[in-house]
Amino acid sequence: MAGEAEHDEPSVYRDAGGWLSARGREQVRELGLHDDRVAGLPEGDPAFQDVFDAWLRRGDLDRRVPGAESGHEVLARVRAALLSLTDEFRREQVLVVNHGGVMAFAVPRLCDNLRDDHVLDHGFVPNAVPLRFTVGDDGWTAGAWPV
């Protein structure tokens, strides 16, 4: 999906199989570092990394960078966004393009067949590499974790 997540108007692309539409979803965004003091922290910044490590390694989802989302809030936001897509596009395949940090944190916690700390042993999903998962009446299931 090209463009910023805040776009309300769909961008439409044509491929060999027909028309595909892409829309931004506010809830599908990277980890929320909204405080101007911490916005744009580089990867590995101690203020952010300490909180992210607490989420990934210790399951301490109450932690947050001041002014930013807690792990619980991130997980609820991503779950709501993905459930909204499954409701809107029942029995269809949907491609969600998102940032690796938020997906590495959220997808294992949403999928019944992955441990919450799955990313620690299997690494982050590489850029531009799909991770397939299904959402159904019987729960959330991840396919093979790409490396």
Closest-CA residue to 135 (of 71, 80, 76): 80
φ/ψ bin of 87: left (φ > 0), alpha (ψ from -120 to 50), beta (otherwise): alpha
Number of independent structural domains in the chain: 1
Domain range for 50:
11-106
pLDDT cut 70: percent of the chain above it: 69
Residue 8 has pLDDT above 70, yes or no: no
Residue 24 pLDDT class (50, 70, 90 cuts) = low
Residue 134 lies in a domain: no
Query: Which residue do the tokens 């991770």 mark?
Result: 131
Does residue 110 or residue 43 have the better pLDDT? 110
pLDDT tens digit sequence for 81-97: 888 888 887 887 777 77
Residue 33 lies in a domain: yes
Residue 42 pLDDT class (50, 70, 90 cuts) = low
Q: Is the pTM of this model over 0.85?
A: no
Q: What are the angstrom distances between the C-alpha of 24 and each of 9, 43, 100?
A: 8, 24, 17
Residue 27 lies in a domain: yes
Does residue 117 or residue 10 have the better pLDDT? 117
Q: At what angle do helices 46-58 and 100-110 cross, to 10 degrees?
A: 20
Residue 144 lies in a domain: no
Residue 17 lies in a domain: yes
